Amino acid sequence: MNPQTINFSTNWNNKLDCKCFTTIRLKNEKKYQHNKVYGIYINKKPVKKAEIIDIKTIFFNQINEYIAMLDTGYSAHEAKEILKKMYPNINLETQPFSFILLKTI
């Protein structure tokens, strides 16, 4: 059985080159689960496999410099602008996100 996949359009902050990395995703408890292994892809090309170590629920207004810079390499303001472009039809003020910690396996 093939693992679930997490696709990235960009290797934000070169994080996919690291042993551990984060991603901010729309909350989806069925897709993103603790201790589950995922195929990590950039533009649908396989990069590696990683396991979800932890998931924290956050909201748009909680994305601060710490979270934004670690995850994207951009300021909180810039990261929020990126999310607005990625999800133009979603009310980001009420939408829960998952801040996901993964470890390369």
**2 has pLDDT over 90:** no
Ramachandran region, residue 74 (left: φ > 0; alpha: ψ -120 to 50; beta: rest): beta
Q: Cα separation of 96 and 36, whole Å?
A: 21
**What is the pTM (predicted TM-score) of this model?**
0.93
**3 has pLDDT over 90:** no
Number of domains within the chain: 1
pLDDT digits (tens, 9 = 90+) for 21-76: 999 999 999 999 999 999 999 999 999 999 999 999 999 999 999 999 999 999 99
CATH number of the domain enclosing 82: 3.10.400.10
Domain membership of residue 9 as a residue range: 4-104
